[in-house]
Structure 1
Amino acid sequence: MSRVEQNTKLDLEKIIFIGRTYEEYMDMFYLSEEFLKGKKILDCPAGACSFTAIGQKIGLDVTACDIAYDHSVKALKNKGLEDIDHAMEHMEKAKNNYIWDYFKGIDELRRHRQSALNDCANDMIEHTQNYIPVTLPSLPFKDEEFDILLSAHFLFMYADRLNYSFHIETLKELLRVTKEEIRIFPLVDLNGNKYNHLAKFKDYLTENGCTIEKVSVRYEFQSDANSMLKIRKNY
């Protein structure tokens, strides 16, 4: 790797490398394997999620992309373990901000996060080609390369540090590489507040020929984070 490439790589300490399990993805995006079979799927950004790893094992065509994938698997796994420990400490202090139905307690939550990290890291070693480093709002994929795009815990969650302009530029790129449908979860920020510009965001999509549907899902852990935005391209 050249010195220039090293200098442009995002500092690993600025990345939170935590992921959700395949089962969580199926519930928070209201998915079925029948729906996904035969489709080319992009998980963006995928982090330490196990959706790609488990999906590939059962015959799904999934690609994961994330800014973190510029780093070695060993470094990412170590960072992930540290981040899980830190997150569980935070959970102890903020348990009342979460709904403990999907997970029965912090120990069960930890097991899910560690399972996702292990599956992701192992698959990154075995199938490196499925994990693409990207820096949004730019994606290195062809127009309409994917049928379905899933985007979890990113766009609206970080509304305090990713402004509306970034959201729109990212959305344009997600639309460019997607042929059929985009699903975004959740529709709240880190504090559980609805994304301020959601109405304006929807207006932009409608004006650009998309059908939008807010869908209640089978997953709620963070309070009020129980719905996704389903965006269908009609052009």
Structure 2
Amino acid sequence: MAAARTPAPYPDVLVTSRPLDEYCALFGLTRAQLAALPGPLLDCPGGAAGLAAEARELGCRVIAADPAYALPLPEVAAHALAARDSMVVAMAARPRLYPALGRCRSESYLRSWDRARRLFTADSAAHPQRYVAAALPRLPFADGTFVLTLSGYLLFAYPELFDLEHQLAALAELVRVTAADGEVRVQPLHDGFGRRCGHLDRLRYALGERRISSEVRRVPQEGRRTCRVLVLRAAGHRRRGIGK
């Protein structure tokens, strides 16, 4: 599916290359849960992640959406490589914000990004229909298309780009394209400096007025760390058994 209008890439947003295992850790998922999903998963924004390629090996169909996909593939890969270099600096300056590191040295962690970027490049060239050029808050998917929607490192990570109004519209759109008994999971709930969203309660109230239920779920990481994930679903519907 293609958008009616070619979306412009988000300005100053890193095109990251996270592997499947990092997705699982950050969103509180397991490979078994992904393999058991009865329908497609949406990754928005998908960046240059290896999720779609790796999850397909489990039998899980993933559609990635990102305005960066309007660019030629070599340019997307170049943006991803630049994001890797930015991560080197960020992890050295603020290691507490990267729970996925765990006991892993930063060099090993970034090598997993290199592998994910290579998987993305090969997979998007072979299966371009799985990578849709689209930007929030308007996605070119029918209502209830996905059984699970993941959105990482965008809406709260860049408050200069997404204020409360834009976050509300984007989150409502993610819920719209997700099945009534499915879930939307969003993280992190802080910006690149670790500052938490100061209007999260107001945002959740506004979502409730749109009949969207929300909870902030704590997902354990290695050691005693946890990360917070915003979980959304259409109010009044039992959620699918994806697990906590």
Shift, 1:166, TM fit: 0.8
Measured after TM superposition, the shift of residue 198 of structure 1 is: 0.4
Distance in 1, matches of 2:128 and 2:151, equals: 20
* Alpha carbons 2:10, 2:67 under 8 Å: kept: no
Residue 41 of structure 2 aligns with which residue?
41
1:17 to 6, 15, 18: 15
CA spacing shift, 1:212–1:121, aligned 2, 3 Å: same
Q: Contact 1:48/1:116 (CA < 8 Å) preserved in 2?
A: yes
Task: Name the SS of the counterpart of 1:181 in structure 2.
Answer: strand
**Structure 1 residues 28 and 211, CA, compared in 2 at 3 Å: closer, same or farther?**
same
| Cα distance in 2 between the residues matched to 1:204 and 1:135 | 22
User: What SS is found at the alignment partner of 1:212?
Assistant: strand
Provide closer, same or farther for how the CA distance between residues 34 and 86 of structure 1 changes in structure 2, counting only shifts above 3 A.
Answer: closer
SS at match of 2:22: helix
Provide the secondary structure at the position in 1 that maps to 2:62: strand
Task: Report the alpha carbon displacement of residue 159 of structure 1 after superposing the two structures with TM.
Answer: 1.3
Residue 35 of structure 1: how far off its partner (Å):
3.1
Distance 1:216 1:233 in 2: 20
Alignment partner, residue 228 of structure 1? 229
Structure 1 residue 67 corresponds to structure 2 residue 67: yes
Report the Cα distance in structure 1 between the residues aligned to 2:99 and 2:235, rounded to whole angstroms: 36
What's the Cα RMSD here?
A: 2.5
Equivalent position of 2:29 in the other structure:
31
Q: How many positions carry a matched residue from both structures? A: 227
Return the offset for 1:99: 5.5
User: What is the distance in 2 between the residues matched to 1:26 and 1:97?
Assistant: 17
* Alignment partners' CA distance in 2, 1:13 and 1:167: 16
The answer for the alignment partner of 2:138 in structure 1 is 138
Structure with greater proportional helix content:
1
Cα offset, 1:130, TM superposition: 0.3
- In the alignment, what sits opposite 1:167? 167
Is there any run of 5+ residues in structure 2 with no aligned partner, and where? 237-244
Question: CA, structure 1 residues 96+141, in 2 after alignment: closer, same or farther (shift >3 Å)?
Answer: closer
Contact map agreement 1:186 1:225 (CA 8 A) in 2: no
Matched, 1:151 2:151: yes
Confirm or deny: 8 A CA contact 1:192 1:225 kept in the other structure. Answer: no
**Cα distance between partner residues in 2 of 1:24 and 1:192:** 19
Q: Match of 1:215?
A: 217
Distance 2:174 2:183 in 1: 10
Q: Among all aligned residue pairs of Structure 1 and Structure 2, give the percentage whose two residues are the same amino acid.
A: 28
For structure 1, the 5+ residue unaligned runs are none
